Amino acid sequence: MTLLTRVQYAYLGLFFFACVGVYVYEAMYVWPAQKCEAQDRWWDPKDRACATPIPIWRITGRRPGHAPAPTQQH
């Protein structure tokens, strides 16, 4: 085995591991985010979680366009 052949194998191995690394990154980060966003949901990259957005009126109980209830002052 000559030096040139060893260097060629080293580059081939490096290329192979780089391709595997790109595939793993795509499968773990990019594809789930694309799938989540295609369903009109929110993707959280920190926790790698797909969440359903909740409108604020569901939390507050006020429908959009309605004025807030008057507050009593003492």
Residue 68 lies in a domain: no
Predicted local confidence at residue 1, as pLDDT: 60
Q: Residue 24 sits in which domain range?
A: 3-59
Q: Does residue 74 sit within a domain?
A: no
Region of poorest pLDDT, from 7-11, 25-29, 67-71: 67-71
Per-residue pLDDT tens digits for 35-74:
999 999 999 989 999 999 888 888 887 777 776 667 777 6
Q: Tell me whether residue 55 is in a domain.
A: yes
Q: Does residue 35 fall inside a structural domain?
A: yes
Query: Is 64 a member of any domain?
Result: no
Report yes or no on 67 lying in a domain.
no
Q: Would you state the pLDDT for residue 68?
A: 65
In a domain, 71, yes or no: no
pLDDT, residue 65, reads: 75
Burial (CB count within 10 angstroms: exposed 0-12, middle 13-18, buried 19+), residue 50: middle
Task: Give the closest residue to 13 by CA, choosing from 5, 24, 3.
Answer: 5
What pLDDT is stored for residue 4 in this prediction? 72
Work out how many domains the chain is built from and give that number: 1
Q: Is residue 70 domain-resident?
A: no
